[in-house]
Structure 1
């Protein structure tokens, strides 16, 4: 069994990594699909992001799905042959935030493919992996594993949309139409938004945003004049979800949200100035959105039930032997949205 291991920026290696036999309350999953995330790209190109740095070789990946190959003692939640999405989050269950039901804020979180702790938490781009059974979330027997591997980023989007409050019949702005932004659009549509305005600086992602539920797509690479109507009378947008991490996009969204509207910050862009006078005068609610918790199981149900069609997000699937080519493709916003690895046959 093999894994995709990053040793340094642009130094990917395919290395043997057999999965141990499952112990009590564990399962072995034979992977079928794994998606390249923005954090994987940061590790690949820069060796990390912010203060998080790659300090030792690390298996990448946390958006994966596969088939249960073996069970440890006491496992009843899944059976051999079941298709599962792997939840990459493993909260400690004992810290203050876990006890308060805020498990995404766990003080001792273990998250696959993360260099936030040392030794690093190894990732899930492997042909086989043994994990706690609680992290193997069953999906429908007929669900494509490529779609099942979208459970993790879709859970991020569901959590972000929940932060925005009730959206039924509301006007929503989503700035930044990368994979998370497009999934936020799909989640906002599920939540009943009447109008979803999507903005980006590249036309190709906007085309996918339209297929996932955006009712109006605006290319803002040349300016934001086309959004002027949304700024009338102090703003026409009920909720804005900022997914780009771009300072100009954030400032622009604040100008379009109506008084007592909500702005949800999803994208990570570092420290940025804020127009405090506008925020105070319009009595805006600004919220952050970080990862997910129970939304992972909900994502699995929605994808299994066919309640949402996320296929427009999938760009292509490459074997792990073509890891370098897969990362090159995933880095090109004009050609790719979500690039996945294909494991096994």
Structure 2
């Protein structure tokens, strides 16, 4: 993996100044080709706001685009700005008066508007095939992401960050919303015995949301002992290494969250579940046919529920961060200036060494 600074803000050819300023961006050009380069700052439309980005979290999909040139079935076909987990401060408010005023601290909801004529279940626009998402190669042309110093974006995609929440913590609002949505998919978790498979950032945030929601006993499993330790710091009651398969299978949980995105994780979740348990699939399994044990899922009458991105749980997440009922600080393990994006991505790929890695803009 490489990271190349094409030019500095001071001497970049065609660098813009003024309200939007110069615009460093983190761009993937192909497999192993990650660059920090100058991108023109786009002039906002009347309904758009210019946000000066403060922090951006490196997501698993960002890592996949750089390492493999694809994220699931979304294949990189042209250079694309990465990033969808960002927070910052409004520099230029929308000219039409929509959205927050200049100086307001905001988090970005990366899900774009959906065509009113698109088909999707009521209240679930995240399931629309017409939905867009920042930093996604699902469509051609690709939808550029938000790893830029100055983001021009529809004001409808902004959420005000409460005064009590530091922007660094608010940078986790997007992935925490994914976890919040997953827990919501499970129904009432109060007092229940729960297993979370995979203690990457989404798994860790799922633990934090479960603890806030009153789960009775939370067990976590992962291939790395360091990841288990981070989960316990967030409120998990017990950690079991994935290699201890018999111990995992003997758990007999009422509710399981598969957040590793691997067939092995699915197998572990099915084995650990008791009869009638709910299994929520949070991690994206590899595209195509996957070999997983469905026979025991049938004989146990498991309720298998998918969980994809989120709808508008970000408001709940920000409120919970503000009142202190949702802990996320332990999820963040590293922070790098944007010029060191290459090193940040390398560290983020090492699940034994890192949880959530932030870029500082």
Interval of TM-score (by shorter of Structure 1 and Structure 2): over 0.9
SS at match of 2:92: strand
**For residues 298 and 242 of structure 2, what CA distance do their matches in structure 1 show?**
26
Map 1:253-292 → 2, pairs under 5 A: 253-270=269-286, 271-292=289-310
Q: Which residue of 1 aligns with 2:312?
A: 294
CA distance in 2, matches of 1:330, 1:255: 29
Q: Which residue of 1 aligns with 2:253?
A: 237
Query: Residue 56 of structure 2 contacts residue 83 of structure 2 at CA under 8 Å; is this kept in 1?
Result: yes
Distance change in 2, residues 1:99/1:255 (3 Å):
closer
Q: Within 1, Cα distance between the matches of 2:41 and 2:212?
A: 38
Q: Which runs of structure 2 are paired with 1:96-175 in the superposition (5 Å)?
A: 96-98=118-120, 100-175=122-197
Verify: 1:321 aligned to 2:339, yes or no. Answer: yes
Q: Which runs of 5+ in 2 are unaligned?
A: 1-22
What is the TM-score normalised by the length of structure 1? 0.93
Partner of 2:12: none
Deviations for 1:260-310, whole angstroms, at most 9, x for unmatched residues?
110111112233334333222221111111000021222222223322120
Q: Is the Cα contact below 8 Å between 2:93 and 2:99 reproduced in 1?
A: no
Task: Write the deviation string for residues 63-87 of structure 1: whole angstroms up to 9, x where unpaired.
Answer: 0000011112233541211110111
Q: Which residue of 187, 196, 209 corresponds with 2:218?
A: 196
Return the alpha-carbon distance in structure 2 between the equivalents of residues 97 and 129 of structure 1. Answer: 29
SS in 2 for 1:269: coil
Which residue is 2:4 aligned to?
none
Give the alignment's Cα RMSD to 1 decimal: 1.6
Tell me, yes or no, if the aligned pair for 2:249 and 2:268 is still in contact at 8 Å: no
Alignment of 1:5-44 (within 5 A): 5-44=27-66
Which consecutive residues of structure 1, in runs of 5 or more, have no partner in the other structure? 231-235
**Which structure 1 residue ranges, 4+ long, deviate > 6 Å from structure 2?**
none
